[in-house]
């Protein structure tokens, strides 16, 4: 199979409301940084892939159409991907496939969400006919799964707070992060209001406006770069239904099978040993130990032990979310691509103050819907 690599990445400053820019301006902020980082200019871009979550979040039907020119897509192929919360990752994977198929030399992948244009809670609360309403929001939807994880794994109650402290302190090292809280403590997290038991206010992702972009190139394009690129060793995507008898919301089979396929394609036999850093989609703190198990970094029921031992901090055995993760910035459609981009930045040695020393192999992970859409990639420095 042809090789593909990340040539450059870019992202916006993520905020609750980016009223200083339009949707086009938001996307361009990320795109311009990605092109600069990749050292390529518009004539070298062959195609554009845009990802974002539901159009109702901005109130525009298929916004890539009106954005086409601002995205640099005029006269080029433009694909629009939508796979719920996993979309940012899926968008990068589709762009990778375009390169691997030999169709294009360089593809620009962009993902964004500008939640302040509309009202995300309203967008998620429309009740289609003949469908039972849940009406719980994402936190209320996932809280029972986290509670089930605690019951199954016998994890101590402070694990979630440990994750929140780690991610928010990491976010303080990331100039683009929405929430930057260097002084947060386990005590302060545990003193924050309980929203959806066991999820407290400080263990919850924010709502953000933001965008992310990556330039993906083929072997020739990668070798033409003067700087270190991130070679894409493998990608994987898996989907399962939202509800069915026997669905395991704590350890979804689609996520586990995607991870297995990913490790196999990348030639990784012991993920905990062979992966240096992982950017995992953790919108609520307790998802970190759950996904560590689902991804095969720990046996079922043991993921929380890595967290408790501090192994997921920068400097630990497997630093998780050195960027601060979704807990610090959550422009939904872009959140998955931010994970993928951070993984690339880490192995390119371009992660600034949140750089994990000697990171050579990194995981980018995203999930969406009712823990049913999974997209992931592994990137390496060689």
Binding site for another protein (CB under 8 A): 1-2, 22-23, 53-63, 65-66, 68-69, 73-84, 90, 94, 97-98, 100-103, 117, 123-124, 126, 128-130, 237-244, 253-254, 257-258, 369-370, 372-373
Tell me how far, at minimum, the Cβ of 44 lies from another protein, in Å.
17
Alpha carbons 194 and 2: distance in angstroms, whole number: 49
Question: Please, are residues 80 and 74 in contact by the beta-carbon 8 Å criterion?
Answer: no
CB of 66 to another protein, least distance (A): 4
Q: Which two tokens stand for residue 95?
A: 């762009």
Kindly state the smallest distance separating residue 99's Cβ from another protein, in Å. Answer: 9
Minimum Å gap between C-beta 218 and another protein is 12
Strands 361-368, 277-279: pairing is parallel
- Please, which residue, 313 or 339, has the CB nearer to another protein? 339
**Among residues 202 and 293, whose Cβ is nearest to another protein?**
293
What is the rounded distance in angstroms from the CA atom of residue 328 to the CA atom of residue 324?
A: 5
Min dist. Cβ of residue 239 to another protein (A): 4
Residue 314's CB: how many other CB atoms inside 10 A? 19
Rounded Cα gap, residues 134 and 119, in angstroms: 18
User: CA 353, CA 91: separation in Å to the nearest integer?
Assistant: 27
CB of 213 closer than 8 Å to CB of 26 = no
Specify the residue, 41 or 244, whose C-beta has the smaller distance to another protein.
244
For 41-66, b/e burial (b = at least 16 CB within 10 A) is eeebbbbbbbbbbbbbbbebeebbee
Residue 125 beta carbon to another protein: minimum distance, rounded to whole angstroms: 9
204/375 with CB nearer another protein: 375
Beta carbon of residue 193, minimum distance to another protein (angstroms, whole number): 27
> Which of 252, 249, 277 lies closest to 361, judged by CA?
277
User: In this complex, which beta carbon is closest to another protein, that of residue 65 or of residue 309?
Assistant: 65
Residue (70 or 148) nearer to another protein, CB: 70
Identify the residue whose tokens are 């919850």: 204
Nearer to another protein, 75 or 193 (CB): 75
């Amino acid at each position: 199979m042809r090789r593909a690599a990340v040539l450059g990445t870019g992202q916006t400053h993520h905020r609750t409301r980016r009223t200083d820019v339009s949707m086009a301006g938001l996307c361009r902020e990320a795109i311009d940084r990605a092109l600069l980082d990749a050292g390529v200019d518009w004539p070298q871009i062959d195609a554009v892939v845009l990802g974002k979550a539901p159009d109702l979040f901005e109130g525009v039907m298929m916004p890539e159409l009106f954005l086409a020119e601002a995205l640099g897509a005029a006269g080029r192929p433009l694909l629009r991907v939508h796979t719920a919360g996993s979309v940012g990752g899926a968008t990068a994977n589709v762009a990778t496939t375009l390169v691997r198929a030999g169709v294009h030399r360089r593809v620009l992948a962009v993902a964004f969400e500008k939640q302040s244009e509309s009202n995300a809670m309203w967008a998620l609360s429309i009740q289609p006919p003949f469908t039972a309403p849940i009406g719980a929001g994402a936190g209320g939807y996932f809280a029972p799964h986290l509670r089930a994880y605690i019951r199954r794994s016998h994890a101590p109650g402070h694990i979630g707070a440990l994750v929140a402290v780690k991610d928010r302190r990491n976010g303080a090292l990331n100039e683009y992060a929405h929430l930057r809280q260097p002084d947060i403590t386990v005590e302060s997290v545990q003193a924050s209001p309980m929203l959806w038991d066991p999820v407290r206010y400080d263990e919850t992702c924010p709502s953000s406006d933001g965008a992310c972009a990556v330039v993906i190139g083929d072997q020739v394009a990668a070798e033409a770069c003067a700087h270190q690129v991130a070679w894409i060793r493998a990608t994987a995507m898996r989907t399962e239904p939202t509800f069915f008898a026997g669905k395991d919301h704590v350890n979804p089979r689609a996520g586990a099978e995607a991870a297995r396929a990913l490790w196999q394609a990348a030639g990784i036999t012991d993920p905990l040993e062979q992966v240096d850093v992982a950017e995992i989609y953790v919108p609520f703190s307790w998802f970190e130990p759950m996904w560590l198990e689902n991804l095969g970094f720990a046996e079922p029921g043991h993921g929380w032990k890595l967290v408790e031992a501090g192994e997921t901090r920068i400097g630990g055995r497997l630093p998780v979310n050195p960027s601060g993760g979704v807990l610090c910035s959550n422009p939904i459609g872009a959140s998955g691509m931010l994970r993928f981009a951070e993984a690339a930045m880490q192995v390119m040695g371009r992660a600034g103050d949140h750089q994990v020393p000697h990171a050579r192999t990194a995981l980018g992970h995203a999930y969406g819907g009712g823990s049913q859409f999974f997209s992931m990639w592994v990137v390496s420095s060689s």
